Amino acid sequence: MRGLPLRLLLNGLQVPVVTSDKHTVDQFKGYVLGVHLGSTNPMPTTLDTEGVLDACSLMVLFRDLDSLCQTLTDGDVHTQGFSKHLQISITVAPILTEQQPTKDTPSLTDFFSETTQTTLLAPFRAQLRGYKSVIIQGYVNRDLAEAVREDMGRDRWSDFKQVLASFAAAKEEGSRLFQQRKTSEGCLIWQDAALDIEKMVQSSSWPALVHGGGKPFVTQLAELYFLVRLNVAHVKITAMQSPRGAYYEAMMAEDSLAMASRSLRQDYWMSGYKFRPSDQHLAKLRYRFALAIRLQAEPDTTDRALRHIEGALRLQPGDAAIMKERDNILAWKRRGY
């Protein structure tokens, strides 16, 4: 599976792996499903962890197949063109071809009834969308195999109006929970929405959505994404100011601000287009960048924080919160640490 960061995706979702020893995986002959993942093209990845792109053989339990499928839905976030170029080959009941029945070991064909086949393929059918290169083979009903393959090939997102309504509702639900002081729950909804938008932009669904909704759709979605990312950063920066502090919260704040900044690049959303938020929202981005940098208090970052806060002040002259943060950063710079 060269080019697929499967190991890190599995670790991120804490999917249990029985063994990753290739010899052990190959020697075992009792599999109910065999799944091979490949790619039609080399895939550039945002992950730079050593070894995550190496070919691997893994044994997992069927009970964890849902989680395994979930890792695949996250692939587009880390690897450009993941869902477009991923090849999935599923073999149902490989044990039937690997073990010939004898008088002491009867055939298992009765066990692999169509009901069992449907159950085994259900996680793929329920979770995976937009995968155009799928083979389902082995001891499986042909009509069932074709139906599952068609479901896996369907685009996850197809109606641009429904897409906008869904993400707008998620943003508002997160805000409602936040106002009720259910901060963690609200932030999680915002994070999930942002992640889904990132997946969608990299998925096979995106060109058709852009074609259908055009610039108005892209602009509304880009603004939703930008504001959700700002909201997540605000929650994480607030957590950074708690007495116990939080390295993880700082990392999440910086990541959310970096992703918001990335969404402002030329051609990020569609060719020839660049999203421009309001001056007020852009000032919030720069203010929160500056605040997050100061709270981390890492050496040699004062000038970076100062550039962000002065950029925010140019956009919102006289803003009391921005001016106060500028004073805090200047005091930090004078202290020299």
For the cut 60, the answer to whether the pLDDT of residue 272 exceeds it is yes
Over residues 293-314, the mean pLDDT reads 94
For residue 93 the two structure tokens come to 């009941």
pLDDT at residue 96, as a whole number: 87
pLDDT band at 314 (very low <50, low <70, confident <90, very high): very high
Q: Mention every residue, 6+ apart, whose C-beta is less than 8 A from residue 236.
A: 187, 249, 250, 252, 253, 256, 292
Give which of 173, 205, 209 is closest to 191, Cα–Cα: 173
Amino acid at 166: S
Domain ranges of the chain: 6-153, 160-335
- The per-residue pLDDT of the chain, averaged, comes to 88
Alpha-carbon distance values, 162 to 33, 157, 212 (Å): 36, 9, 12
Residue of higher predicted confidence among 106 and 166? 166
71 contacts 10 by C-beta, under 8 angstroms: yes
pLDDT at residue 252, as a whole number: 93
CA angle 254/83/22 to nearest 5° reads: 95
Over residues 257-265, the mean pLDDT reads 97
Alpha-carbon distance values, 139 to 13, 103, 117, 144, 167 (Å): 30, 21, 8, 11, 41
Residue-wise pLDDT tens digits, 275-292 = 999 999 999 999 999 999
Q: What CATH number matches the domain at 160-335, 3.40.980.10, 1.25.40.10, 3.30.70.1060, 3.40.50.2300? A: 1.25.40.10
For the cut 60, the answer to whether the pLDDT of residue 105 exceeds it is no
Q: How far is CA 13 from the centre of its chain?
A: 11
285: left (phi over 0), alpha (psi -120 to 50) or beta: alpha
Give which of 97, 41, 92 is closest to 65, Cα–Cα: 92
CA angle 325/329/331 to nearest 5° reads: 115
pLDDT at residue 97, as a whole number: 78
pLDDT at residue 20, as a whole number: 84
Residue of higher predicted confidence among 213 and 336? 213
Q: Is 173 helix (H, G, I), strand (E, B) or coil?
A: helix
Identify any residues that bridge with 33 across adjacent strands, giving them in sequence order. Answer: 92
Over residues 313-318, the mean pLDDT reads 96
pLDDT at residue 156, as a whole number: 86
pLDDT band at 93 (very low <50, low <70, confident <90, very high): very high
Check residue 100 and report its DSSP letter: -
Residue-wise pLDDT tens digits, 7-46 = 666 766 678 889 888 899 999 988 999 999 887 766 555 5
pLDDT band at 330 (very low <50, low <70, confident <90, very high): very high
pLDDT at residue 209, as a whole number: 96
Residue-wise pLDDT tens digits, 217-245 = 999 999 999 999 999 999 999 999 877 76
